[in-house]
Structure 1
């Protein structure tokens, strides 16, 4: 399927070579130099000009739009304007030292760590992306990039939903993580809080594809929409391979899928599970996770735990002869009086009466 596409990596053209590209990426731009001396500058984003809402923690969450990024790119690179308007894909280097507020997009974003280490907060979960890692974010994922240094180079791929056309999806195939993510990202019925982090094991082929893509993208003489698309297919194919090799380290699914994993974990660990341990397991802030569980199930975390523990206690009372004290300890209660109080409130009788009934 990808045979002809991989031939692109062996093509010899007069476009920007790798050494020129690497020099371009590593040299501080005027924007980066300004950000380095003024930590309040936001580089590419001009976030004060975007709309924002306040979240439950009273933080400003900005909405970055593809159209505004496009207009800025048209001014910055007028020599490829005729191509940018045809291709719903924008690519640029994240401005190092730039302040980035919490934000969401109206487009799908793919970030590639070209060099160094990038720390991000995604849905209240801090993640660390090493060189070669890729993160794909859906439209409603709240996130921000933390402080970066001169050694940290991040490439951003901004994909308008139109980018995932039937033609692109057919070239990707239907039964893989990228195509499923793309289909859900353009759906009007799915939640859009999903993201995926890929550990590509610093794939040389992926690096070659990204460098080949950037060399063509930044060189107007040889800019070709078909070439850009072909390189993107190669990049996606490498991510699919990484996922199939179980190097995809994190996949946050949409809500209706992800809550099943959480409930399964609670059910398997009800006797020892705490909100803090659950939050740590799934990478959530405890307060956020508590609200998420309540919204998804109609019950609080404590109510779910109590129900599971008490139901197991009932099962053991009816199907074993072990002491009530042993049952209390086994299902996870440390306070005997509290257990009796909850048991009576739920079943209207004492544990002994329940066993004898």
Structure 2
């Protein structure tokens, strides 16, 4: 099986098509786009309409050794051809462009964005754009994702049981829908690059469990994007002397077992009543409900993954009354903590 250490060589090695483009820089190779419909935009420019299914068909034809794997895949992963002409186009899928090395110049609605090594751009459906010719040092990885996979699979899984992730996911979704693209610049680029490399390993050299591995790497990728997004927003708010809601949620998540509304308000120099209204407006839930959800979700994790007694778990997550804990847990999950542990336990007793 291919190793992560081999991905760097694979990406930098010139493919036959890249050699063709390099030796014939004026070639537009419009034959590559003959299968796609074309329309004229308001500026009179020709725009190709890419579809996931036709890209899938092309990928299967050119990669017969992974064709079985591709048929079942909700995403396509490939290296963007260097030196290649890319016409104006839109598509019916979500597109991720990750700059593995060098630069990428992406023109979106007449605005040219310059992405540097480690940057990642997510483009929504129906966005008219093109990528300028790249040089030999410019390595761009493209990930094409069916919209339902992006919205229902990735985002919902990331947002489950975590108020910070849930808020960030909702914010990203709203920004993505409004602005049609988002650029991420993670502070720790090594984690994201490692995840992209792992994704390529299982995609290019598939085994029986490749789909599970690919899904796992996609979760890591989106987790890094969530972290990058919240850090960027926090800095933006601080620079304008405002308090970012994500920082407040992170504080609550960290101190959920002991903090009160007054504690949080004091920490951030807010009036408690104002903070209560602010949290409700930003998250759609009350402080009390938020704390309860966090405590119960942590209780679920401990029931599944520890040998602590239910009484100990009750204390750890911040409840002082065992009867009250049982009542809230049973109302929320329609079963007792003991029944939940019996159904979901991931470890065995010694």
Where on the TM-score scale, by shorter chain, does this alignment land: which range?
0.5 to 0.7
- Counterpart secondary structure, 2:72: coil
> Which residue is equivalent to 2:213?
227
Aligned to 2:166: 175
Which runs of 5 or more structure 1 residues have no equivalent in the other structure? 1-14, 251-357
Identify if the C-alpha distance between structure 1 residues 227 and 111 changes in structure 2 by more than 3 Å, giving closer, same or farther. Answer: same
Aligned to 1:51: 37
Distance 1:40 1:200, change over 3 A: same
Aligned mates of 1:81, 1:204 — CA distance in 2: 30
Give the superposition deviation at 1:162. 2.9
Aligned match of 2:2: 16
CA contact (8 A) 1:44 1:95 kept: no
Q: 1:44 to 1:222 in 2, by over 3 A?
A: farther
1:139 aligns with 2:125: yes
Contact residue 197 and residue 248 of structure 1 kept, 8 A: no
* Structure 2 unaligned spans of 5+: 160-164, 237-350
Report Cα offsets for 1:116-161 as digits up to 9, x if no partner: 0111111110110000000000011111111210000000000012
CA shift, 1:226, in A, is 0.8
The answer to whether residue 65 in structure 2 is matched with residue 74 in structure 1 is: no
Note the C-alpha offset of 1:183.
8.0
Report the count of equivalent residues.
Answer: 231
Deviation for aligned residue 1:167: 4.1
TM-score scaled by length of structure 2: 0.61
- Does the aligned pair in 1 maintain the 2:94–2:150 contact within 8 Å? no
- Residue 175 of structure 1 deviates from its aligned partner by 2.4
More RCO (CA 8 Å, sep 6+): 1
1:85-120 CA-partner distances (Å, limit 9, x unpaired): 212100000000000111101100011000001111
TM-score with structure 1 setting the length: 0.59
- Structure with higher Rg: it is 1
Out of 85, 107, 113, the position equivalent to 1:127 is: 113
SS, match of residue 225 in structure 1: helix
Query: Is 1:37 aligned with 2:23?
Result: yes
Cα deviations across residues 178-205 of structure 1 (Å, max 9, x unaligned)? 45555897xxxx77x6110111135111
- In structure 2, how many angstroms separate the alpha carbons of the residues matched to 1:27 and 1:199? 26
Instruction: Provide the C-alpha distance between the structure 2 equivalents of 1:149 and 1:100, rounded to a whole number of angstroms.
Output: 14
Pair 236,151 (structure 1): closer, same or farther in 2 beyond 3 Å: same
Q: 1:199 to 1:249 in 2, by over 3 A?
A: farther
Alpha carbons of structure 1 residues 151 and 45: separation in structure 2 relative to 1, 3 Å: farther
